[in-house]
Structure 1
Amino acid sequence: MISDVGVAAAPGSSSAGLGVGAVGAAVEAVAGVAAMQEEVGIRREGPEPDPDEPPKKRVKMPEGESGKLEERLYSVLCCTVCLDLPKASVYQCTNGHLMCAGCFIHLLADSRLKEEQATCPNCRCEISKNLCCRNLAVEKAVSELPTECTFCLKQFPRSSLERHQKEECQDRVTQCKYKRIGCPWQGPFHELPAHESECSHPTKTGTELMGILGEMDQNHRRDMQLYNSIFSLLCYEKIGFTEVQFRPYRTDDFITRLYYETPRFTVLNQTWVLKARVNDSERNPNLSCKRTLSFQLILKSKVNSALECSFLLLKGPYDDVRIKPVIHHHSFSNDANETDYVPLPISDSVECNKLLAAKNINLRLFIFQVQK
């Protein structure tokens, strides 16, 4: 049952029971804070104002009380897990308790690893992507609260902080324009013109510059080699691809472990299966902050001769997971019908938690048959 929490609650009050009434009050309070910054010094006189009056008729609060009001808003709008103000999306359970996107995904991933139903850490009601929804009003209210720039330490609304730190702040960290030829300098933006006027890299000899550019070319060649390999595979006569869906299962061992497996699918007139595991079947992956997924491709059909293939996994057409393509090779036969487990090339543990939090993992598999 959703209970309304007033903005004027005690400073130590939590965000439990945040409902529609509390969100509306929070938004009004944020608007009041902005107005107070414009008209500081107006004191409250006479009886308390009617809360049903329009905001323009309300008497402004003194500056000393505005700080306390901001503190109360922080306690009301913070995430119930990390106790910090959300930086992006805000989710709420069926009782209205707030969770930032990172904590919400982490709770769902942990429940998947421990084979438990995810619950709200505040009221213990069940949570899932279907049961929880975004709270757009709280997201907007949080975006208007002031926060401190990490470079110049000035206060800005959260909605404009990113633009300020990237484009406007004179103390933001920047790099020399001669970084392309090896200058390692980085410092405050306001010191950049003075540094560039005295930078020694434009005066380096051609021999020195050739050594620096050689290292940069080597990194570029590695990237180009990958893309050229993919383009070469696209020239093969026999190419197949399909969308695959990894479904979570548990082993039948005494200590059960989480693994993923796809239904059988047909590519290149052969039957295949993909399997995946978490942290290489670590005993308790839920206790680790670093999480990875690895997978193997299994040929289920019987073949008369060796089937040499290249394959790679990419994200599905409706997924937002970031995967860097890696090409793998294997010669399949009746005696060697399984590849070794290879890492799923996701960028970090945050991306892995996104996959674990989902009901199923949807990816796209490409298989290229090497012609002899």
Structure 2
Amino acid sequence: MDEAVGRREGYDEAVLPAPAVIEPDEQPLMKRSRPSGADSDLMSLVDRLSSVLCCTVCLDLPKEAVFQCSNGHLMCAGCFVHLLADARLKEDQATCPNCRCEISRSLCFRSLAVEKAVSELPTTCGYCQQNFPRACLSLHQHEHCHNRPTRCRYWRIGCRWEGPFHEVPTHETTCVHPHKPGGDLMGVLADVDAQHHQEVSPFQDIMQLLSLEKIGYTEVQFRSCRTDDFITRLYYETLRFTVLNHTWVLKARVNDSEQNPNLSSERTLSFQLLMRSKLPAAMDCAFLLLRAPYEDVPLHPVVYRHTFSGESTESPYLPLPITDSIECNRLLAANNFSVRLFLFQVTK
């Protein structure tokens, strides 16, 4: 029996072929080990894509809309309107910084494919250092990140603690502000009331003005013009319009007529209301400018006042209530822009 088994084993050893040795390059794909440099290769690919998809002006990945010239060079929305605004201030034709072809709102168009590609590129959360697609980063940082900066819920009564979101429950269980006596909280509540009053005061003024008897409004368009000086300056002016049975004109200027506003990084617009009718008596007026329909630059509701008379037919130059220089560039990039003017005659 043992001899038979031995002969059987010997037969097997003699007849069965030796197992084939599979070279590493011939191994099935599902069994192949992951290369050690996979992460670095991925990061290299992301870096190469970022260099291809970046804005040709600021050399950064766009955070919003992407425009391209007729030759395909990319510009983020901020740099695009900045180039158009600079050209408007210098009375020149805007050109692509790469190929020098002409650019304008009609000659350039948005590159939706680039915008979608950029939104899928990974980026690192500044709070938890995890990687997310750019399209998901804002939602993660505002709602899901456990390390996002958060205030104590008792900040309205004076708590100044700020820390990561995951530490909020621990802090709030030991926060002393909810246990303070009412007398200690009166100063904080007074500051809260003052801030609230400052925020709602413009709207209260507007509501009171809307109850006046003589109210008028119209939509006007600012058109770009040039001064007659040796060094011309850009300004804006509307056509004459009639409100409250009087003729008016609106003017606007850049950086209060600074000699070279194209060299300034901070840009502002200020406007002036002028009366073109003859006044038999002084006229107290309140007025405000709001965004016109189909315009994309918002204006804050700010009420201005001026007394017009035969000796004072022009209001002083007043700041156009826009947010920042970026919004100013968006207005300058357009040849014309419209606003809605509300005019109130204040009776004493």
For residues 194-240 of structure 1, the C-alpha deviation after alignment (integer angstroms, 9 at most, x for no partner) is: 11111111111211111100011011122333212111111111111
Q: After alignment, is 286-295 or 316-325 more displaced?
A: 316-325
What residue in structure 2 maps to residue 97 of structure 1?
A: 73
What residue in structure 1 maps to residue 211 of structure 2?
A: 235
For residues 263-293 of structure 1, the C-alpha deviation after alignment (integer angstroms, 9 at most, x for no partner) is: 1111111110000111111111111111111
Structure 2, unpaired ranges of 5+ = 1-29
Give the superposition deviation at 1:68.
2.3
Structure 2 counterparts to residues 282-297 of structure 1, below 5 A: 282-297=258-273
Give the superposition deviation at 1:63.
4.4
Give the superposition deviation at 1:64.
4.1
Give, in whole Å, the separation in 2 of the partners of 1:219 and 1:157. Answer: 38
Normalising by structure 2, report the TM-score.
0.88
What residue in structure 2 maps to residue 163 of structure 1?
A: 139
The counterpart of 1:188, out of the listed 155, 161, 164, is: 164
What residue in structure 1 maps to residue 93 of structure 2?
A: 117
What residue in structure 2 maps to residue 152 of structure 1?
A: 128
SS of 1:79's equivalent in the other structure is coil
* Maintained 8 Å contact 1:41/1:63: no
The counterpart of 2:322, out of the listed 341, 346, 362, is: 346
Give, in whole Å, the separation in 2 of the partners of 1:210 and 1:321. Answer: 40
Give, in whole Å, the separation in 2 of the partners of 1:130 and 1:39. Answer: 55
What residue in structure 2 maps to residue 71 of structure 1?
A: 47
SS of 2:135's equivalent in the other structure is helix
Q: Which has the larger radius of gyration?
A: 2
What residue in structure 1 maps to residue 243 of structure 2?
A: 267
With over 3 angstroms needed to count, the CA separation of the structure-2 counterparts of 1:237 and 1:142, relative to structure 1, is: same
SS of 1:209's equivalent in the other structure is helix
What residue in structure 1 maps to residue 181 of structure 2?
A: 205
Give, in whole Å, the separation in 2 of the partners of 1:302 and 1:268. Answer: 13
What residue in structure 1 maps to residue 151 of structure 2?
A: 175
Give, in whole Å, the separation in 1 of the partners of 2:40 and 2:308. Answer: 74
Give the superposition deviation at 1:40.
9.3
What residue in structure 1 maps to residue 201 of structure 2?
A: 225
Structure 1, unpaired ranges of 5+ = 1-37, 44-60
The counterpart of 2:113, out of the listed 126, 133, 137, is: 137
SS of 1:230's equivalent in the other structure is helix
Compute the RMSD of aligned alpha carbons: 1.8
SS of 2:159's equivalent in the other structure is coil
With over 3 angstroms needed to count, the CA separation of the structure-2 counterparts of 1:87 and 1:40, relative to structure 1, is: farther
Query: How many pairs were matched up?
Result: 318
Structure 2 counterparts to residues 239-254 of structure 1, below 5 A: 239-254=215-230
Give, in whole Å, the separation in 2 of the partners of 1:167 and 1:303. Answer: 59
Return the letter of the residue paired with 1:164: H
The counterpart of 1:329, out of the listed 305, 312, 337, is: 305
* Maintained 8 Å contact 1:79/1:86: yes
What residue in structure 2 maps to residue 316 of structure 1?
A: 292
Give the superposition deviation at 1:346.
1.1
Give, in whole Å, the separation in 2 of the partners of 1:174 and 1:362. Answer: 40
* Maintained 8 Å contact 1:40/1:63: no
Return the letter of the residue paired with 2:278: K
With over 3 angstroms needed to count, the CA separation of the structure-2 counterparts of 1:309 and 1:145, relative to structure 1, is: same
* Maintained 8 Å contact 1:261/1:275: yes
